[in-house]
């Protein structure tokens, strides 16, 4: 790890970036501190140190490092931009907004600064002013340029009966699941809605009655098109005007009927896609959920793709895996339909359960996504979802200890849920669903 005397500053900064990319934050901090001893007058060293300390979750030292960088180079938009990113990662939207705006004053030509500002404003609830800025994101800029070169019309928000609109899922599956809700008001306005999405979403979306066509390769002829993440902007969405009529997605198969004396079935998701840039902030070590399995009563169902219980006896050996027959989100929806509750970190499965109107307890780590706003235990996006938030006092996130308080709060609520669950009043004979007090 030592930064040898023969190494250049550029070599050292490159090593720091590599360590941060590998999430080796302790080593990245050490790297930048050694660089600071050799190059104490270079602002980039302290900016890198601030970014490394951000990864460790040490906000106080992170702030000192960024401020030192700004003392050395007070007119550097890049330092303000990265300082804003760091503040945003601590859910400090107000400070991030101020810092991003300072960066914009110094360099108005960098769209990523406007995108960062938009995300902080979205988290703070200032959606009216944030949505136009969110159109500066890279995928949106590239899409708009491509459509202009192809002489295709990007939808401006005007709902014209008879017009064919192609909605394109630009980002992750969870984003597509969250914002596909806007297909319904488009159809109700008389438009014909086509959707282009990932193959894993195709069967799920094809079953939605207000979607006319789903493509994963060649696209149908259309009159206008829109990225699915731009729909809230086109609808001028605010926290009070979200289309929140759930369920808007459903299972393709009816759940099997269960005896009214069956214990509750609880689905679990503890990790998202590892290559997601936010995965270290949102995923939870599997072992951290073990206290939930020690609560008597529920039958636990894993909703984690690819997971299988080990052969050793213990709480996890009794958790039902998804199995090899689950190929896509339509299959996952069929499994969720038979559950009573889903406990999940911020992943596409949580969005799917919320879109199906299932009770969802969402576990939020450090640096929660903008869509969950701040200091709320509910969300206007999904009426049946509860939020359990990690606080700054819990740690940096990512390790078992940081999740301990969140899981303890969930365990307490799950015990109460199991106690309430037994009070059955009747069974709907047509669906097999139980009605309780």
Q: Is residue 254 part of a domain?
A: no
Mean pLDDT of 300-307: 94
Residue 193's domain is classified under what CATH number?
Answer: 3.40.50
Locate 292 and state its tokens. 């939930």
Domain boundary at 215, 234, 253, which? 234
Whether residue 95 is found in the same domain as residue 15: yes
3-state SS of 116-154? HHHHHHHHCCCHHHHHHHHCCCHHHHHHHHHHHHCCCCE
State pLDDT tens for residues 361-371. 999 998 889 99
Residue 114's domain is classified under what CATH number?
Answer: 1.25.40.10
The proportion of the chain whose per-residue pLDDT surpasses 90, expressed as a percent, equals 80
Instruction: Note down the domain range covering 197.
Output: 141-234
Whether residue 44 is found in the same domain as residue 62: yes
Q: Is residue 126 part of a domain?
A: yes
* Sheet bearing 385-389, strands edge to edge: 299-302, 265-269, 341-345, 360-364, 385-389
Alpha-carbon gap, residue 290 to 239, rounded angstroms: 35
Whether residue 216 is found in the same domain as residue 284: no
pLDDT at position 428 over 60? no
Please give the residue that has the higher pLDDT: either 279 or 388.
388
Residue 330's domain is classified under what CATH number?
Answer: 3.40.50.2000
Whether residue 306 is found in the same domain as residue 346: yes
The reported pLDDT for the residue numbered 437 is 44
Helices (H), 22-76: 25-38, 43-56, 59-72
**pTM attached to this predicted model:** 0.91
pLDDT band at 3 (very low <50, low <70, confident <90, very high): low
Which residues are registered as beta bridge partners of 143?
A: none
């Amino acid at each position: 790890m030592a930064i040898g005397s023969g190494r250049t500053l550029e070599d050292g900064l490159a090593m720091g970036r590599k360590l941060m990319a590998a999430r080796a934050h302790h080593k990245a901090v050490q790297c930048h501190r050694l660089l600071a001893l050799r190059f104490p007058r270079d602002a980039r060293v302290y900016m890198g140190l601030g970014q490394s300390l951000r990864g460790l979750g040490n906000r106080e030292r992170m702030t000192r490092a960024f401020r030192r960088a700004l003392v050395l180079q007070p007119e550097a938009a890049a330092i303000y931009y990265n300082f804003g990113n760091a503040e945003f990662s601590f859910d400090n939207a107000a400070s991030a907004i101020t810092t991003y705006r300072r960066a914009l004053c110094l360099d108005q030509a960098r769209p990523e600064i406007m995108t960062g500002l938009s995300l902080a404003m979205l988290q703070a609830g200032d959606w009216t002013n944030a949505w136009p800025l969110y159109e500066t994101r890279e995928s949106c800029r590239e899409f708009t340029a491509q459509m202009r070169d192809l002489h295709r019309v990007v939808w401006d928000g005007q709902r014209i009966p008879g017009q064919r609109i192609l909605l394109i899922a630009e980002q992750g599956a969870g984003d597509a699941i969250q914002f596909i809700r806007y297909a319904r008001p488009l159809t109700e306005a008389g438009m014909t809605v086509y959707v282009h999405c990932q193959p894993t979403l195709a069967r799920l979306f094809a079953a939605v009655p207000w979607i006319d066509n789903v493509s994963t390769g060649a696209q149908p002829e259309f009159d206008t098109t829109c990225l699915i993440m731009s729909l809230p902007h086109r609808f001028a969405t605010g926290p009070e005007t979200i289309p929140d009529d759930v369920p808007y997605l459903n299972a393709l198969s009816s759940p099997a009927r269960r005896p009214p004396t069956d214990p509750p079935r609880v689905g679990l998701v503890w990790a998202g896609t590892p290559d997601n840039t936010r995965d270290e902030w949102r995923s939870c070590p599997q072992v951290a959920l073990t206290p939930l399995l020690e609560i008597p009563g529920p039958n636990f169902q894993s909703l984690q793709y690819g997971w299988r219980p080990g052969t050793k006896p213990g709480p996890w050996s009794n958790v039902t895996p998804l199995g090899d027959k689950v190929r896509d989100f339509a299959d996952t929806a069929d499994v969720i339909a038979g559950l009573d509750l889903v406990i999940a970190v911020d992943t596409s499965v949580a969005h799917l359960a919320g879109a199906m109107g299932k009770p969802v307890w969402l576990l939020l780590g450090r640096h929660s996504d903008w869509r969950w706003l701040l200091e709320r235990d509910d969300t206007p996006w999904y009426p049946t979802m509860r939020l359990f938030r990690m606080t700054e006092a819990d740690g940096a996130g990512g390790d078992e200890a940081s999740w301990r308080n969140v899981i303890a709060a969930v365990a307490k609520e799950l015990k109460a849920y199991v106690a309430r669950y037994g009070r059955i009043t009747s069974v709907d004979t047509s669906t097999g669903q139980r009605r309780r007090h």
